[in-house]
Amino acid sequence: MELKMKPLKHSFSQTELYYLIAIALFVVINIAGLFVYVLPERDRLKLAKQDIVQFSSMLQSVQNEYADEKIPDDLINKLTTRVPTERVDSANLIFFHELADVSQAPLAFVKQSSGMGEEQNTSDSSVSANGTMTTNFEVTVVGHLPSLLQFIDNLHNYSRLYNLQKWSMTELSKETINQEYPDLYSHSYIKKDTAVLSMNMTIQSYVFPQFADAFKQESKVEELPDKAV
Amino acid sequence: MKSINLLPAKQKTSSRNPQLMPLLLLIVILLLGAQLYYVLSWKSEGSGVEQERLRLEQEIDQIRKSGDLKVKVDGYRQAEQILAGLEQSRIEWKPYLKAIVGHLPSTSKIVTISVADEPKVSMELDFKTASDVIIYMQKLEAEEVLKDVVLTSYFKKVDGQTSSEVVASGTTGETTIKTVRKEVYKLMLDIVLADAKGAQSDGTQNEAP
């Protein structure tokens, strides 16, 4: 007996072969399309949607942070000129000198003194409950009566806010002038035949440190996220 | 001898499903179509999402451009209020001083004028004659910006010092030098200011002579 161990041939017809090639081709195209177009497109969309969520949240935050009105810079400047947000003592001294010159009442004495009772005192200034810092100055000027009145008026009308809280005028005798202000008559506007008075004042100056950050917020605007799509 | 074939029976060609291949081809074509559909659909959706993103971005920019940070706006309003309060608490001295100093006769002398915390002016003045004192006080009392003019003290003070004065003697017009004692009429007053705020509006009514 003879045993046939040869497998039988499994042959495809030509049509089946075409089908197989076409199927294989489409499978390859499918796989390529999946990795080249479908998945990246899906990821882009996913990222874009994440962006939308981020932007929506930012819009919400911007709506909460921003008011629907704008304060022009000149108004802010005007306010900070009237009451600055930073304490600069030299500015006060320059001001007293200029005011004395303009008013023709030479500046004799300036001293910084402590603030008022109810407020929280530091060494030479006080901070009120609303955060306003008040500094008291004891200032003395000498001159003729019209000059002293002019000093008071100029102080009131100056662009920066000062408050003349207390003041007193006293006529100076010739002896006092010679002893305490020996160079007083070197000023052309001080006349020897007219009474000279000394005026001691307590002048308050104000600073708004509590608004310093608020008025500098422009530069701290949050950046928009980068475009993902 | 009869041969025996032990191999598995040859499948008949007819036993394969003839629609299998076309079906498989159809499936892979459909899969490709589905991929195309999703890509186009996601692209379209992505375009909508991009539009939405641009809209949100524009809205955020618009809000930022049309308004300031609330902390700045609120801070400005609060600062304005505090400033107004500080302005309100100030006293404009000009109208009061015009009223007080403006009526002083040229022969009078200011010894001291002082203002403490209260809106009250304390004065010490020297006058040459008693009538000057009375006229001055009457003028002060007529001033609207001064509420109360309170006489603290008034007296004639004669100094030990003397001064020389030229006086006419007789009807011939001759003059002689007379040595007289220096005397002044001292007046001390406390003046209460009517209304520190009201004075600002009334200030223009009190022009110094």
Which of A52-61, A109-118, A161-170, A182-191 has the least mean pLDDT? A109-118
- CATH tag, B94-205: 3.30.70
CA distance B185 to B128: 6
pLDDT confidence tier of residue B61, bands split at 50, 70 and 90: very high
**Res B120: pLDDT:** 85
Handedness of CA A107, A108, A110, A113 (dihedral sign): negative
Please determine, for residue A28, whether its predicted confidence score (pLDDT) is greater than 80. Answer: yes
Q: How far apart are CA A176 and CA A182, in angstroms?
A: 9
Q: Is A149 on the interface with B (CB under 8 A)?
A: yes
Tell me what ipTM this predicted complex has.
0.77
Residue A59's pLDDT is what?
93
* Calpha distance A65→B6 (Å, rounded): 88
Confidence band for B33, pLDDT divided at 50, 70 and 90 = very high
- Can you name the CATH fold of A85-211? Alpha-Beta Plaits (3.30.70)
**What confidence tier does B172 reach under pLDDT thresholds 50, 70, 90?**
low
**Which tens digit of pLDDT belongs to each residue from A107-154?**
999 998 755 444 455 456 677 788 899 999 999 999 999 999 999 999
Chain B within 8 Å of A4 (Cβ-Cβ)? Answer: yes
Is the pLDDT assigned to residue A223 strictly greater than 80? no
Q: How many CA atoms lie within 13 A of B133 on its CB side?
A: 19
Give the mean model confidence (pLDDT) for residues B96-108: 90
pLDDT at B208 over 80: no
Identify the pLDDT of residue B204.
35
pLDDT at site A99: 93
Residue B194 pLDDT > 80: no
**Residue of A2, A37, A171 lying closest to B35 (CB–CB):** A37
Task: List the domain boundaries for chain B.
Answer: 28-67, 94-205
Given pLDDT bands bounded at 50, 70 and 90, which one contains residue B116? confident
Return the pLDDT at A15.
Answer: 85
Instruction: Determine which of B86-90, B134-138, B169-173, B174-178 has the lowest per-residue pLDDT on average.
Output: B169-173
Residue A5 sits at the chain B interface (C-beta within 8 Å): yes
What tokens were used for B57?
């971005």
pLDDT of res. A215: 86
Mean pLDDT score of chain B, rounded to an integer?
82
Picking from B31, B49, B113, the nearest residue to A30 by CB comes out as: B31
CA distance B182 to chain A (A): 16
Contact flag B4-A195 (C-beta cutoff 8 Å): no
Average pLDDT for chain A: 86
Tally Cβ neighbours within 10 Å of residue A9.
6
